[in-house]
Amino acid sequence: MVTIPTALAESVVRREGEAGREWIAALPELIVRHADQWGCEPAGPAWHGETAVALPVACACGPAVLKISYPHRRSRAEAIALRCFAGRGAVRVLESDDDAFALLLERAGPRTLDSVASVDEAIEIAGGLARRLAVPAPPEMPSLADATRLWERQLLQQAAAAPGLLPAGAVDRARAVIGALAADATPTMLHGDLHYANVLKASREPWLAIDPQGRRGTAAFDAFTVITERPSRLMARAAVLARIRRYGSAAGVDPELALACCQARASSAYLHQHGGNGDWFDLDLLRTLIAM
């Protein structure tokens, strides 16, 4: 019997309501069915994000992970992205059931990029992966440009709810960056959520990415997630710029565009956290980015 993590169940029901409750109720049977179908045996406790469960398994092809996600477009884009990467800098897809949003994935980890002692080295590793993941995107892949209208709408709503919270002109500058990204025609893939926990130590390659959002667009977008890790020694403007330039060099993207993406995303994150929606980013670092 598979035990579904309580935190996952609560998260899915909070987001999806009764449909989420029904999915959670069916999830144990989904796990058992796909484990049997793909010849897998559980090899440890499950872990989870907010909308998916991942179970380490042993199967004929070796150590793997059985991942089942709540049915939504982002989960489908993840599967497309991983197939597109084809093991180049990311875990391989071993089996899949698109109708059930189920994947059997190459297992990596458990060490994450956070285990690298040097922040500079970690940024270079993440940037190097971003460069390698920039493979031609398939026609069905959603683009970063597609997401900009919703991003701008949320930014304006959050700014209106907290008048004066951001420095004068910060919202206008963020809107200008969003507008530029709306016209982005980059034909290659980006990860979309390249934080340290999504980069795992591996044996086939030194490091492999997991859990891509699946988008077509500039890898400059991922600079924000990479450079905001371990912020305690990253409060000075010069240090922030050094991190962004290091990422830009490793990822092969324009550092000025990476800086602009960081500033726009920092503005959105600051407003989001001010509204009581999580505490993922260091507020002092966000303020430094916004003021640059």
- Considering the candidates 97, 193, 222, 284, report the single residue annotated as catalytic: 193
Per-residue pLDDT tens, the chain, 292 aa: give them: 678 889 999 999 999 999 999 999 999 999 999 999 999 999 988 889 889 999 999 998 889 999 999 998 778 899 999 999 999 999 999 999 999 999 999 999 999 999 999 999 999 999 999 999 999 999 999 999 999 999 999 999 999 999 999 988 999 999 999 999 999 999 999 999 999 999 999 999 999 999 999 899 999 999 999 999 988 666 788 999 999 999 999 999 999 999 999 999 999 999 999 877 767 899 899 999 999 8
Domain with residues 6-106, CATH architecture = 2-Layer Sandwich (3.30)
Residue 277: the pLDDT is 72
How many CB atoms sit inside 10 A of residue 44's CB? 13
Cβ 108 vs Cβ 181: under 8 Å: no
Residue 30: the pLDDT is 95
Residue 56: the pLDDT is 95
Helix (H) or strand (E) holding 48: strand 47-48
Residue 193 a catalytic site member:
yes
Residue 231: the pLDDT is 86
Residue 1: the pLDDT is 62
Domain 113-291: assigned CATH number: 3.90.1200.10
Residue 98: the pLDDT is 92
Instruction: Give the global pTM.
Output: 0.93
Using CA atoms, how far apart are residues 45 and 49, in angstroms rounded to an integer? Answer: 14
Residue 202: the pLDDT is 96
Residue 11: the pLDDT is 92
For 12, 15, 123, 215, 216, the CA distances from 134, given in Å and listed in that order, are 31, 31, 17, 10, 9
Cross-strand partners of 66: 55, 104
Cβ 62 vs Cβ 108: under 8 Å: no
Tokens in use for 27?
Answer: 């999830």
Portions of the chain given CATH number 3.30.200.20: 6-106
Residue 244: the pLDDT is 97
Cross-strand partners of 62: 59
Residue 167: the pLDDT is 87
